[in-house]
Protein backbone atom coordinates (compact mmCIF):
# COMPACT_ATOMS: atom_id res chain seq x y z
CA UNK A 1 0.00 0.00 0.00
CA UNK A 2 1.09 3.57 -0.65
CA UNK A 3 0.57 6.53 1.56
CA UNK A 4 -0.72 9.87 0.25
CA UNK A 5 1.00 11.91 2.97
CA UNK A 6 4.30 11.45 4.83
CA UNK A 7 4.27 9.34 7.96
CA UNK A 8 5.89 10.66 11.11
CA UNK A 9 7.62 8.98 14.03
CA UNK A 10 5.92 10.44 17.09
CA UNK A 11 6.59 9.62 20.74
CA UNK A 12 4.25 10.60 23.56
CA UNK A 13 6.05 10.51 26.92
CA UNK A 14 3.87 10.52 30.03
CA UNK A 15 5.37 10.55 33.52
CA UNK A 16 3.87 8.00 35.92
CA UNK A 17 1.77 9.64 38.67
CA UNK A 18 4.16 12.58 38.37
CA UNK A 19 3.29 14.84 41.33
CA UNK A 20 2.79 11.91 43.70
CA UNK A 21 5.97 10.19 42.48
CA UNK A 22 8.01 13.36 43.08
CA UNK A 23 6.71 13.53 46.65
CA UNK A 24 7.55 9.87 47.25
CA UNK A 25 11.02 10.36 45.77
CA UNK A 26 11.74 13.41 47.93
CA UNK A 27 10.32 11.81 51.09
CA UNK A 28 11.22 8.09 51.31
CA UNK A 29 8.76 7.67 54.19
CA UNK A 30 5.94 8.11 51.67
CA UNK A 31 7.14 5.34 49.33
CA UNK A 32 4.72 2.48 48.96
CA UNK A 33 1.94 4.39 50.74
CA UNK A 34 -1.37 5.69 49.32
CA UNK A 35 -0.75 9.37 48.63
CA UNK A 36 -2.83 12.25 47.29
CA UNK A 37 -1.35 15.57 46.24
CA UNK A 38 -3.62 18.58 46.76
CA UNK A 39 -6.27 19.79 49.17
CA UNK A 40 -7.21 17.74 52.21
CA UNK A 41 -10.00 15.45 53.30
CA UNK A 42 -12.05 18.49 54.33
CA UNK A 43 -11.29 20.90 51.49
CA UNK A 44 -9.86 20.87 48.03
CA UNK A 45 -9.51 18.42 45.20
CA UNK A 46 -7.00 15.67 44.45
CA UNK A 47 -4.47 16.91 41.88
CA UNK A 48 -2.68 13.56 41.62
CA UNK A 49 -2.75 10.15 43.29
CA UNK A 50 -0.05 7.54 43.75
CA UNK A 51 -0.61 4.10 42.27
CA UNK A 52 -1.09 2.77 45.79
CA UNK A 53 -4.02 5.20 46.21
CA UNK A 54 -5.44 4.47 42.77
CA UNK A 55 -6.07 0.88 43.82
CA UNK A 56 -8.77 2.29 46.11
CA UNK A 57 -10.35 4.35 43.33
CA UNK A 58 -8.65 7.61 44.27
CA UNK A 59 -8.04 9.74 41.18
CA UNK A 60 -7.36 13.29 40.08
CA UNK A 61 -10.25 15.81 40.24
CA UNK A 62 -11.89 13.78 43.04
CA UNK A 63 -12.89 15.66 46.18
CA UNK A 64 -10.60 15.17 49.17
CA UNK A 65 -13.58 14.01 51.20
CA UNK A 66 -14.50 11.22 48.78
CA UNK A 67 -10.85 10.23 48.34
CA UNK A 68 -10.44 9.79 52.10
CA UNK A 69 -13.71 7.86 52.24
CA UNK A 70 -12.46 5.47 49.56
CA UNK A 71 -9.06 5.13 51.19
CA UNK A 72 -9.01 5.80 54.98
CA UNK A 73 -5.21 5.42 55.09
CA UNK A 74 -4.74 8.11 52.43
CA UNK A 75 -1.99 10.66 53.11
CA UNK A 76 -2.54 14.21 51.81
CA UNK A 77 0.44 16.31 50.69
CA UNK A 78 0.22 19.91 49.55
CA UNK A 79 1.49 20.47 45.98
CA UNK A 80 4.91 22.04 45.37
CA UNK A 81 4.66 23.32 41.83
CA UNK A 82 8.07 24.97 41.86
CA UNK A 83 9.61 21.56 42.53
CA UNK A 84 7.51 19.91 39.81
CA UNK A 85 8.56 22.61 37.32
CA UNK A 86 12.21 22.13 38.27
CA UNK A 87 12.05 18.41 37.54
CA UNK A 88 9.94 18.93 34.41
CA UNK A 89 12.65 21.26 33.07
CA UNK A 90 15.29 18.54 33.60
CA UNK A 91 13.16 16.01 31.75
CA UNK A 92 12.55 18.44 28.90
CA UNK A 93 16.30 18.92 28.67
CA UNK A 94 16.65 15.19 27.99
CA UNK A 95 13.99 15.39 25.25
CA UNK A 96 15.82 18.25 23.55
CA UNK A 97 18.97 16.15 23.23
CA UNK A 98 17.05 14.00 20.76
CA UNK A 99 14.93 16.53 18.87
CA UNK A 100 13.98 20.20 18.88
CA UNK A 101 10.42 19.21 17.99
CA UNK A 102 9.09 18.87 21.55
CA UNK A 103 5.53 19.92 22.41
CA UNK A 104 4.83 19.93 26.17
CA UNK A 105 1.19 19.31 27.05
CA UNK A 106 1.77 19.87 30.76
CA UNK A 107 4.56 19.46 33.31
CA UNK A 108 4.35 15.68 33.03
CA UNK A 109 3.78 14.87 29.37
CA UNK A 110 4.99 15.86 25.92
CA UNK A 111 5.03 14.88 22.26
CA UNK A 112 8.34 14.37 20.45
CA UNK A 113 8.75 14.18 16.67
CA UNK A 114 11.80 11.96 16.10
CA UNK A 115 11.26 11.34 12.38
CA UNK A 116 14.60 13.08 11.97
CA UNK A 117 16.50 13.18 15.25
CA UNK A 118 19.82 14.43 16.60
CA UNK A 119 21.03 10.91 17.38
CA UNK A 120 20.50 9.63 13.86
CA UNK A 121 18.60 6.69 15.34
CA UNK A 122 16.06 5.24 12.85
CA UNK A 123 14.06 3.47 15.59
CA UNK A 124 11.56 5.61 17.48
CA UNK A 125 10.91 2.68 19.82
CA UNK A 126 14.59 2.51 20.80
CA UNK A 127 14.70 6.28 21.30
CA UNK A 128 11.68 6.10 23.62
CA UNK A 129 13.29 3.26 25.57
CA UNK A 130 16.54 5.22 25.90
CA UNK A 131 14.74 8.39 27.01
CA UNK A 132 12.78 6.51 29.66
CA UNK A 133 15.96 4.90 30.97
CA UNK A 134 17.71 8.26 31.16
CA UNK A 135 14.79 9.82 33.05
CA UNK A 136 14.99 6.96 35.55
CA UNK A 137 18.78 7.26 35.98
CA UNK A 138 19.14 11.05 35.90
CA UNK A 139 15.89 12.13 37.58
CA UNK A 140 14.83 9.09 39.56
CA UNK A 141 11.30 8.72 38.15
CA UNK A 142 9.60 6.30 35.78
CA UNK A 143 7.85 7.28 32.57
CA UNK A 144 5.66 5.53 30.02
CA UNK A 145 5.59 6.11 26.27
CA UNK A 146 3.49 5.56 23.19
CA UNK A 147 5.06 5.45 19.74
CA UNK A 148 3.29 5.65 16.38
CA UNK A 149 2.73 7.54 13.14
CA UNK A 150 0.81 10.50 14.61
CA UNK A 151 0.07 12.29 17.88
CA UNK A 152 -3.35 10.77 18.41
CA UNK A 153 -2.24 7.14 18.26
CA UNK A 154 0.94 7.82 20.28
CA UNK A 155 -1.16 9.45 23.01
CA UNK A 156 -3.55 6.49 23.19
CA UNK A 157 -0.67 3.99 23.13
CA UNK A 158 1.15 5.62 26.07
CA UNK A 159 -1.63 4.46 28.43
CA UNK A 160 -1.35 0.80 27.44
CA UNK A 161 1.61 -0.40 29.51
CA UNK A 162 1.55 2.04 32.42
CA UNK A 163 3.41 2.38 34.67
CA UNK A 164 7.00 2.23 33.43
CA UNK A 165 6.26 0.71 30.03
CA UNK A 166 5.79 1.58 26.40
CA UNK A 167 3.79 0.48 23.37
CA UNK A 168 4.56 0.89 19.70
CA UNK A 169 1.80 0.86 17.09
CA UNK A 170 3.60 0.26 13.80
CA UNK A 171 2.18 1.56 10.52
CA UNK A 172 0.76 -1.78 9.38
CA UNK A 173 -0.89 -2.26 12.80
CA UNK A 174 -2.59 1.16 12.93
CA UNK A 175 -5.96 0.21 11.44
CA UNK A 176 -6.42 -3.07 13.38
CA UNK A 177 -5.33 -1.29 16.58
CA UNK A 178 -7.93 1.45 16.12
CA UNK A 179 -10.71 -0.95 15.11
CA UNK A 180 -10.20 -3.04 18.25
CA UNK A 181 -9.87 -0.02 20.55
CA UNK A 182 -12.68 0.55 23.05
CA UNK A 183 -14.38 3.83 22.26
CA UNK A 184 -13.85 5.13 25.82
CA UNK A 185 -10.10 4.88 25.25
CA UNK A 186 -10.14 7.19 22.22
CA UNK A 187 -8.33 10.38 23.20
CA UNK A 188 -10.83 13.24 23.00
CA UNK A 189 -13.86 11.06 23.82
CA UNK A 190 -14.94 11.98 27.35
CA UNK A 191 -17.51 10.40 29.66
CA UNK A 192 -20.50 12.25 28.22
CA UNK A 193 -19.54 11.50 24.61
CA UNK A 194 -18.81 7.87 25.51
CA UNK A 195 -22.34 7.43 26.86
CA UNK A 196 -23.80 9.07 23.77
CA UNK A 197 -21.79 6.74 21.53
CA UNK A 198 -22.96 3.73 23.54
CA UNK A 199 -26.55 4.84 22.94
CA UNK A 200 -25.80 4.93 19.21
CA UNK A 201 -24.34 1.42 19.31
CA UNK A 202 -20.72 2.57 19.06
CA UNK A 203 -18.55 0.57 21.46
CA UNK A 204 -15.31 0.10 19.53
CA UNK A 205 -13.33 1.74 16.77
CA UNK A 206 -14.79 -0.80 14.36
CA UNK A 207 -18.31 0.36 15.25
CA UNK A 208 -17.26 3.98 14.80
CA UNK A 209 -15.74 3.25 11.41
CA UNK A 210 -19.05 1.91 10.13
CA UNK A 211 -20.67 5.33 10.59
CA UNK A 212 -20.60 7.80 7.70
CA UNK A 213 -19.11 11.28 7.94
CA UNK A 214 -22.59 12.78 7.58
CA UNK A 215 -23.93 10.60 10.41
CA UNK A 216 -21.13 11.59 12.79
CA UNK A 217 -21.42 15.31 12.00
CA UNK A 218 -25.18 15.11 12.55
CA UNK A 219 -24.71 13.60 16.02
CA UNK A 220 -21.46 15.21 17.13
CA UNK A 221 -21.12 18.44 15.14
CA UNK A 222 -17.59 19.48 14.22
CA UNK A 223 -16.15 16.69 16.37
CA UNK A 224 -17.77 14.22 13.97
CA UNK A 225 -15.10 14.97 11.36
CA UNK A 226 -12.39 14.38 13.95
CA UNK A 227 -13.84 10.99 14.94
CA UNK A 228 -14.32 10.02 11.28
CA UNK A 229 -10.66 10.71 10.50
CA UNK A 230 -8.83 9.42 13.58
CA UNK A 231 -10.46 6.00 13.42
CA UNK A 232 -8.95 5.76 9.93
CA UNK A 233 -5.53 6.70 11.27
CA UNK A 234 -5.73 10.26 9.94
CA UNK A 235 -4.51 12.96 12.32
CA UNK A 236 -2.36 15.62 10.68
CA UNK A 237 -1.66 17.80 13.72
CA UNK A 238 2.08 18.42 13.85
CA UNK A 239 4.28 18.57 16.94
CA UNK A 240 4.41 22.28 17.82
CA UNK A 241 7.51 23.25 19.87
CA UNK A 242 6.03 26.61 20.86
CA UNK A 243 2.57 25.50 21.83
CA UNK A 244 0.36 28.55 22.23
CA UNK A 245 -2.10 28.44 25.15
CA UNK A 246 -5.77 28.90 24.30
CA UNK A 247 -6.58 30.40 27.69
CA UNK A 248 -4.93 31.71 30.83
CA UNK A 249 -6.60 31.50 34.22
CA UNK A 250 -6.31 31.60 38.01
CA UNK A 251 -8.57 30.19 40.69
CA UNK A 252 -8.84 29.76 44.45
CA UNK A 253 -10.47 27.14 46.70
CA UNK A 254 -11.64 28.66 49.98
CA UNK A 255 -11.12 27.28 53.49
CA UNK A 256 -14.79 28.01 54.22
CA UNK A 257 -17.72 28.13 51.83
CA UNK A 258 -18.86 31.63 50.83
CA UNK A 259 -22.59 32.34 50.80
CA UNK A 260 -22.75 35.96 49.66
CA UNK A 261 -21.46 37.78 46.58
CA UNK A 262 -20.16 40.54 48.87
CA UNK A 263 -17.72 38.13 50.52
CA UNK A 264 -16.53 36.99 47.10
CA UNK A 265 -15.48 40.39 45.76
CA UNK A 266 -12.22 40.54 47.72
CA UNK A 267 -11.35 37.02 46.58
CA UNK A 268 -12.13 37.91 42.98
CA UNK A 269 -9.82 40.92 43.22
CA UNK A 270 -6.94 38.71 44.40
CA UNK A 271 -7.63 36.26 41.58
CA UNK A 272 -7.69 39.11 39.05
CA UNK A 273 -4.32 40.35 40.36
CA UNK A 274 -2.80 36.88 39.92
CA UNK A 275 -4.32 36.54 36.44
CA UNK A 276 -2.90 39.93 35.42
CA UNK A 277 0.54 38.81 36.63
CA UNK A 278 0.38 35.66 34.48
CA UNK A 279 -0.87 37.56 31.44
CA UNK A 280 1.84 40.22 31.65
CA UNK A 281 4.55 37.62 32.28
CA UNK A 282 3.60 35.94 28.99
CA UNK A 283 2.70 39.19 27.19
CA UNK A 284 -0.82 37.96 26.50
CA UNK A 285 -4.22 39.65 26.35
CA UNK A 286 -7.68 38.27 25.61
CA UNK A 287 -11.26 39.17 24.80
CA UNK A 288 -13.35 36.43 26.47
CA UNK A 289 -13.60 36.46 30.28
CA UNK A 290 -15.01 33.39 32.01
CA UNK A 291 -16.02 33.23 35.65
CA UNK A 292 -15.81 29.73 37.13
CA UNK A 293 -17.96 28.92 40.16
CA UNK A 294 -17.78 25.61 42.02
CA UNK A 295 -20.52 25.19 44.62
CA UNK A 296 -20.34 23.38 47.95
CA UNK A 297 -22.11 20.39 46.34
CA UNK A 298 -19.27 20.34 43.74
CA UNK A 299 -21.52 21.39 40.88
CA UNK A 300 -19.62 23.58 38.43
CA UNK A 301 -20.95 26.65 36.64
CA UNK A 302 -19.26 28.98 34.16
CA UNK A 303 -20.37 32.41 32.95
CA UNK A 304 -18.63 34.14 30.04
CA UNK A 305 -18.58 37.44 28.22
CA UNK A 306 -16.67 38.43 25.08
CA UNK A 307 -15.51 42.03 24.69
CA UNK A 308 -14.77 43.92 21.49
CA UNK A 309 -11.17 44.54 22.55
CA UNK A 310 -8.22 42.74 24.19
CA UNK A 311 -7.63 43.23 27.90
CA UNK A 312 -4.94 42.19 30.39
CA UNK A 313 -5.47 44.79 33.13
CA UNK A 314 -6.72 43.53 36.50
CA UNK A 315 -9.24 46.34 36.90
CA UNK A 316 -10.94 45.54 33.58
CA UNK A 317 -10.82 41.82 34.30
CA UNK A 318 -12.34 42.37 37.75
CA UNK A 319 -15.03 44.70 36.43
CA UNK A 320 -16.22 42.04 33.97
CA UNK A 321 -15.92 39.24 36.55
CA UNK A 322 -18.14 41.22 38.95
CA UNK A 323 -20.70 41.72 36.19
CA UNK A 324 -20.72 37.95 35.58
CA UNK A 325 -21.00 37.23 39.31
CA UNK A 326 -24.12 39.40 39.61
CA UNK A 327 -25.53 38.09 36.32
CA UNK A 328 -27.73 35.60 38.14
CA UNK A 329 -28.34 34.31 41.65
CA UNK A 330 -26.02 31.75 43.18
CA UNK A 331 -27.35 28.20 43.39
CA UNK A 332 -25.60 27.36 46.65
CA UNK A 333 -22.67 28.41 48.82
CA UNK A 334 -19.39 28.60 46.91
CA UNK A 335 -16.14 26.69 47.56
CA UNK A 336 -14.11 27.86 44.53
CA UNK A 337 -13.90 30.87 42.23
CA UNK A 338 -11.80 31.24 39.10
CA UNK A 339 -11.29 33.72 36.27
CA UNK A 340 -9.87 32.83 32.88
CA UNK A 341 -9.19 34.78 29.71
CA UNK A 342 -9.57 33.21 26.26
CA UNK A 343 -9.83 34.39 22.65
CA UNK A 344 -6.22 35.48 23.09
CA UNK A 345 -4.13 37.77 20.90
CA UNK A 346 -1.76 34.82 20.36
CA UNK A 347 -4.29 32.73 18.44
CA UNK A 348 -3.87 32.22 14.72
CA UNK A 349 -6.54 31.21 12.28
CA UNK A 350 -5.95 27.73 11.01
CA UNK A 351 -7.84 26.02 8.24
CA UNK A 352 -8.49 22.41 9.11
CA UNK A 353 -9.06 20.33 6.04
CA UNK A 354 -11.16 17.24 6.46
CA UNK A 355 -9.69 14.27 4.63
CA UNK A 356 -12.43 11.94 3.50
CA UNK A 357 -10.44 8.99 2.35
CA UNK A 358 -9.21 5.72 3.75
CA UNK A 359 -5.67 5.90 5.06
CA UNK A 360 -3.08 3.58 3.59
CA UNK A 361 0.27 2.98 5.19
CA UNK A 362 3.79 2.07 4.20
CA UNK A 363 4.56 -1.42 5.46
CA UNK A 364 8.31 -0.78 5.53
CA UNK A 365 8.81 2.06 7.98
CA UNK A 366 11.30 1.32 10.73
CA UNK A 367 9.87 1.86 14.19
Domain ranges of the chain: 18-80, 173-230, 247-344
Averaged over 296-314, what is the pLDDT?
A: 91
Q: What percent of the chain has pLDDT over 90?
A: 71
pLDDT value at position 128?
Answer: 98
User: Which of 4-8, 58-62, 117-121, 184-188 shows the lowest mean pLDDT across its residues?
Assistant: 4-8
Q: Tell me how far apart the alpha carbons of residues 103 and 110 are, in angstroms, rounded to a whole number.
A: 5
User: Which of 78-82, 150-154, 258-262 shows the lowest mean pLDDT across its residues?
Assistant: 258-262
CATH classification of 247-344 is 3.40.50.720, yes or no? no
State yes or no: is 350 an active-site residue: no
Q: What percent of the chain has pLDDT over 70?
A: 91
Q: Tell me how far apart the alpha carbons of residues 24 and 266 are, in angstroms, rounded to a whole number.
A: 36
CATH classification of 18-80 is 3.30.565.10, yes or no? no
pLDDT value at position 1?
Answer: 33
Instruction: Please tell me which residue in 23, 52, 103, 109 is annotated as part of the active site.
Output: 109
pLDDT at 54 over 80: yes
Averaged over 13-29, what is the pLDDT?
A: 96
Q: Where are the beta strands (DSSP E) in 162-232?
A: 166-168
| CATH code that applies to domain 173-230 | 1.10.150.20
pLDDT at 306 over 90: yes
Single pTM value for the model: 0.74
Averaged over 262-267, what is the pLDDT?
A: 88
Q: What is the pLDDT of residues 265-288, one digit of tens each?
A: 989 999 999 999 999 988 899 999
Averaged over 172-191, what is the pLDDT?
A: 93
Instruction: State the pLDDT confidence band at 348, using cuts at 50, 70 and 90.
Output: low
Q: How far is CA 163 from CA 25, 32, 107, 143, 280, in A?
A: 16, 14, 17, 7, 38
Q: How far is CA 35 from CA 17, 20, 43, 47, in A?
A: 10, 7, 16, 11
Q: Tell me how far apart the alpha carbons of residues 204 and 182 are, in angstroms, rounded to a whole number.
A: 4
pLDDT value at position 4?
Answer: 52
pLDDT value at position 358?
Answer: 42
pLDDT at 224 over 60: yes
Question: Is the model more confident about 21 or about 42?
Answer: 21
Amino acid sequence: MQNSFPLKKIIHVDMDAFYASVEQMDNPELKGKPLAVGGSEKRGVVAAASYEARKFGVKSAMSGYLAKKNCPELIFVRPRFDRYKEISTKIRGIFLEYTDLVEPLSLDEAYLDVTENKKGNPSASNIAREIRQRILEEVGLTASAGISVNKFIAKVASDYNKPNGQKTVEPDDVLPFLENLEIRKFYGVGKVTTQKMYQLGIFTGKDLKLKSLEYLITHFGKSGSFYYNVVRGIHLSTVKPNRIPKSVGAERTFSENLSSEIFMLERLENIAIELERRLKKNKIAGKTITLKIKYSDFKLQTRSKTLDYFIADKSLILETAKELLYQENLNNSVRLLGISLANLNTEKTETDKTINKTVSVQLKFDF
